[in-house]
Chains A and B, each alone.
Chain A
Amino acid sequence: MEISRRDFIKLVGGVSGAIAAGSYGLNQIIDIPEKLVEKLKNGHRIESWKSTICGLCPGGCGIRVRLINDVPVGLKGNQYYPINQGGMCPTGHAALQQLYNPDRVKGPLKRIGLQKSGKWKSISWDDALSTISKKLIELRKDGKSHQTVFLGYDEHGLMKEHISRFMKAYGSPNYFQTSHAQNNSIPFIFTQGHGLRPTYDILNTKLILSFGANFLEEGFSPIYYTKLFSHFKEAAKEREAKFIYIDSRMSLSGANADRWIPIMPGTFGALALGIAFVLIREELFDKEFIKNHSFGFEDWKDNSGNKHLGFKNLVLSDYYPEKVSSITNVPSKTILEIARDLGNIRPSLVLGDQGAVNNTNGTYTQMAIHSLNALLGNFEKEGGLYFIDKPSYDKFPPVKEDSIAKIGNQRIPVSKLTDGFSPIFDFSFEIFTKNILSDQPYPIEVLFIKGNPLFQSLYQHELAEAIKKIPLVISFDSFINETNEYANYILPDHTFLEKWDESSNIPTVGFNHFGIQQPVVEPLFDTRHTGDVLIDIAKRINGTVALAFPFESYKDEIHNVVENIYKSGEGAIASEGVEGVWLEYLQQRGWQIGRYASLDEFWNLLLEKGGWWNPIKKKKLSSEIFKTPSGKFEFYSQILKDKLDSLNKNAEKNKSTKETESLLVKLNFSAKGDTIFLPHHENVLYEDNFPLILITYQLLTNRNGESSNLPLMQEMFGYTMRQYWDSWVEINPVIAAEKGITDGNWVWIESSVGTIKARAKLFPGIIPSAVGIPFGLGHTSYGRYAKGFGVNPTSIIKNHYDLISGLPALHATKVKISLAT
């Protein structure tokens, strides 16, 4: 029998769906003996695709993984998934390097040597879990359940819920996340009354004014914002839209701005208020919004008749452009220009993040920046900002606490100060560490840990001591890193391509969504899902703890959530045509679906397409947006006042702010009186006389230092600087010339904490009074690709925190540089 090449391909293609690379090799084949046809047909290289969600950062991009004979060989963005619509960031492409990474922990490990000795012994899951649960049962028996800490990382949604349930049922108030989701929403809570991060309508705005918000790189979902921004940019000329970026350093977002305005680190709040000054003076603000939906703009009287300072007069008296210019180094003329642009070009919107708020005064700064949106009346307006409520599809029956748990849960969390005034944050490494080291309020017996704070956090040295002190440390990571080198057990999780999970409602994304992570391949090693491990431990502890998990497995929990979504009848499975026109069409028609015949069909489609979303946003009323005591946007934050008052137990209500002032003095704040509760500028206290400010930043290629074990990402780390596998320090050419430093020289960067060495990159996109080092490299552990490359700038950053929110102040350290020979 003679088969033409075309026939052959038809045949094979028809039988097995698609033949992948097969066809490549078949080019030369003209005649194929009959007996081979069968072999080729059923033989090698059957291609298939599976949808999942990229797990390399919480950005939540949908991806499709290519399998040849069920072996993952490649991946691409999921065209249908609404967050990324087929796009990806560089990191996502390295996913298979995580899956197949030679440094993975291949099964449960028990440390047999000293801490950090690197001596481990493989043990069975059963042995590990029975030892651990024995200890946990013992603690409960002794009424010490609260002496267990779960230090999570960036888990959210279902996994966060899962861990919370475990801890609650077990009886410990000590579940924290080192990725401070709640803490960074504090300024929003103060002004809006809730911590939802706004979604920015970049698509429809005409002016984006960003205070250090590097949304293309460091945002929650960089690719979602890259997509939006590309549409913004594409239409920018026609719509006369522009993007102004204020930062001490030109980040990737800055490089894409129409104008970059360099500013002294730690003074963004002052600039925002300087802009507010012009908006108010020139009456460029939204008077209607201010009058009806804001509180504390004008001076006001409280119930007892005391006069209070309003935002307007604070700004008009303290933030005139010349003064702001001297604080920020931004020329008065520029301040006027930005303010007039902002006031005249409508709609315009204001973003603040990363560079602006990574400082000791971050909370006030974010409040000041957010106030500009209020002045512009931007809430729930096209081209402004809006809020996406998270529907609770993951509702589970409430956790039953037994008597032990009840007592345990009522203890003070180990993250709180015991001496009367804990500041406002839920968690801070500083206090957490100090408390553990001093056994306050009680000693810690067990630490569950996900993530790698010993690489990422400030306070590393002390934190290491604290972890050392804890008798039983259990890590869930898939790799050995700086932190779990101290653990007693490593119970390795699957990598994301091997497991069930979900990625839903990423903050700042403009619609509800639920992305499903499914195993595209059977686990390569003897690893287990942390969710399932917790269920297993709970079962071993038994009683109410076991009851906290009504499902057999974590996957079943996900299925339950999907069932709830299915039942809600809202939204749709992600499918083709998620872009503009189609979306409008759907919205006009009021998108109602109910097209799915059964839950099974819904589930299968979900797995096939990768996710579900609901693009319809309901317009909110002002009372729904603002949950403050006044029901309005609060320039004068009554929530902040209540918090501070409640911290100071001696304060009699409404008497005076003296007590609060003295509290703030302890926290190094200088504001007095009403200013404390208003957005204002606090000077950053540098404490030493080094000449340059150190600023750090995260790159798209390595967010939190987690991508360091992916060789592709190490190579691409500094692709914009042509610096591969290595750190660098960005120096303004003017300063470099003064110091006799040329591009590529090795330089020492010295702070009062330590000294590191990096190659100089002369970068005209950084202010002369600062030097910049990217965060992500400098691992001392974490596998062959990570260990020993570059430096970790965090190791020379002083232990400064935003004392209101507890977030690390990354730009509050001064350094000097010198040529290394």
Chain B
Amino acid sequence: MSKEIKQNFGPDEVLYRPIYETGKGFYITVSILIAIYFWSLYMYFTQVRSGLGVTGMNQPVTWGFYIVNFVFFIGISHAGTLISAILRLSKAEWRRPITRMAEVITAIVLAIGGLHPILDLGRPDRMLNLVSAGRLQSPLLWDVTSITAYFTASTVYLYLPMIPDIAKLRDRGGKLTWFYTFLAWGWQGTEKQKKILNKVINILMIMVIPIAISVHTVISYIFSMTLQPGWHSTIFGPYFVAGAIFSGIAALLIVMIAFRRAYHFENYLKEIHFKYLSTLLLIMSLLWFYFTFSEYLTGIFGSEPHEMHIILYKFTGPFAIFFWGMVVCNFIIPVILLGISRFRTIKGILVASISVVVGMWLERLIIVVPTLANPTMPLPAGIYFPSLVEWALFIGGIAVFILGFVLFSKFFPLISIWEIEEGRKEGIKEVEERIHSYLPNT
């Protein structure tokens, strides 16, 4: 079917290609991912049937992979909507080819991350108690609220800018025209429609920034609202947000590099995009270091015994390998690869980004587990080994993410076509005007 439509639709043809051309690789990838998904689903059912006993959690390590991955995934989700909104807001012209991908990451990862607290529930059947008996004083409910808000806002924020592209797909005819007709919502590209769309996008992008910041702030509050050493920290809010953006950018870069390669987007995702984004990543890495340094320095300086105990547990104890691994992944590697221009190739950026994603996952692990494993009562340290079920759900989560992305790319362009077109038409003029506005008048 895809073979039939061979007409040329202009310069952006390559952006449509993934939707109409499906290779063997796609089917293999999708089947593997679906298989992994069903496997993890099965594992989850064993958990529902038997109880959380099938995990490696215990007393005192009452939280494990699910909460770690919850924080991690939600962090990644900051890639998208937040970054895209900031870029849009700052009218960064180079944003045009990357906002869509960023937003997709958000929508998918947020859905996955948002499910994690449910995976973690001892009684998922009573989930609705959160509504019927919800206690707004609990940080967990703040989370529910802000994640829901963020998810709603970011899906809308993903969808709205897609409408013109969907209309294009509708107009192209061929597969699933009814589907695109439905989603295009009668988009004709009239000036009035454009005006409304732009207005709505503008409102949303301003709204979405505080919501996004609130999400990760509130997640950090889950920890910092307790009295536990290692958690009870005032900088947790910004620290988490910074970390989230950090991992989000890294994830975005990975996705960009992957699809650039897979779908031959070299013409759209140019060196400059990577240069800008990797600079941002480098800055975030330094910021991350600053936060981490402050967090631990204040702890060490105060030397409160329990706080110190946990710091040492991370620095030299059983978690040292994770802690120093995190420092290497989040700081040493990115700073070397991104700071030294010789290494700052696409490959280098890819390695740095993967390293940051791994490093940020380690950070989440290091935040959640050591504090729980070292109760402040004179009790022996807890031991936590994630079980197969937890690994399965982690791997399943990643699989669902990739699957979501791959499927999305089969139905929608991964790069916003109309925005690229718009950029070509208006961008130059607009940029010129803007530059004039900040230069001294001649």
Contacts and interface: CB of A to CB of B under 8 A. Distances in A.
Interface string A495-525: 0000000000000000000000000000000
A722 interface: yes
A153 B100 CA distance: 83
Interface in B373-404: 379-380
Contacts of B379: 722
Task: Determine the main DSSP class of A at the interface with B.
Answer: loop
Contacts of B380: 722, 743
B381 to A, nearest CB: 10
Contacts of A743: 380
A722 B380 CA distance: 9
Contacts, number: 3
Nearest to B379: A722
A722 B58 CA distance: 14
Interface residues of A, number: 2
Interface in A85-136: none
A618 B388 CA distance: 71
B169 to A, nearest CB: 62
Interface in A713-733: 722
A572 B47 CA distance: 61
Nearest to A721: B380
Contacts of A722: 379-380
B313 to A, nearest CB: 15
A438 to B, nearest CB: 52
A722 B379 CA distance: 9
A33 B349 CA distance: 79
A743 B379 CA distance: 13
Interface string A725-761: 0000000000000000001000000000000000000
Nearest to A743: B380
A14 B379 CA distance: 49
B60 to A, nearest CB: 12
A801 to B, nearest CB: 39
A745 to B, nearest CB: 13
Interface string B7-50: 00000000000000000000000000000000000000000000
A202 B115 CA distance: 63
A106 B380 CA distance: 43
A536 B106 CA distance: 84
A687 to B, nearest CB: 38
A743 B380 CA distance: 10
Interface string B345-381: 0000000000000000000000000000000000110
Nearest to A722: B380
A85 B224 CA distance: 48
Nearest to B383: A744
A564 to B, nearest CB: 55
Interface in A738-790: 743
B375 to A, nearest CB: 12
A4 B379 CA distance: 50
A18 B380 CA distance: 45
A744 to B, nearest CB: 8
A541 to B, nearest CB: 58
A110 B408 CA distance: 74
B385 to A, nearest CB: 14
A679 B109 CA distance: 81
A721 to B, nearest CB: 10
B136 to A, nearest CB: 29
Nearest to B380: A722
A722 B381 CA distance: 12
B45 to A, nearest CB: 30
B366 to A, nearest CB: 23
A736 to B, nearest CB: 15
A133 to B, nearest CB: 54
A143 to B, nearest CB: 65
A383 to B, nearest CB: 36
A288 to B, nearest CB: 51
Interface in B261-276: none
A722 B59 CA distance: 13
A711 B379 CA distance: 24
A26 B249 CA distance: 61
A743 B383 CA distance: 13
A719 to B, nearest CB: 13
A619 B380 CA distance: 52
Interface string B316-352: 0000000000000000000000000000000000000
Interface in B139-155: none
A107 B379 CA distance: 46
A760 to B, nearest CB: 13
A473 to B, nearest CB: 44
B111 to A, nearest CB: 41
A306 to B, nearest CB: 63
A743 B381 CA distance: 11
Interface string B116-143: 0000000000000000000000000000
B53 to A, nearest CB: 16
B59 to A, nearest CB: 11
B103 to A, nearest CB: 49
A720 to B, nearest CB: 12
A725 to B, nearest CB: 15
A722 B382 CA distance: 12
B318 to A, nearest CB: 11
B299 to A, nearest CB: 26
A746 to B, nearest CB: 15
A526 to B, nearest CB: 38
B260 to A, nearest CB: 49
A387 B348 CA distance: 89
Interface string B152-176: 0000000000000000000000000
Interface in B35-78: none
A504 B379 CA distance: 42
Interface in A691-731: 722
Interface in B80-115: none
B374 to A, nearest CB: 15
A655 B350 CA distance: 101
A743 B318 CA distance: 14
B335 to A, nearest CB: 37
B178 to A, nearest CB: 57
3 contacts: A722-B379, A722-B380, A743-B380
Interface of B: 379-380
Interface of A: 722, 743
The 3 closest A-B pairs by CB, nearest first: A722-B380, A743-B380, A722-B379
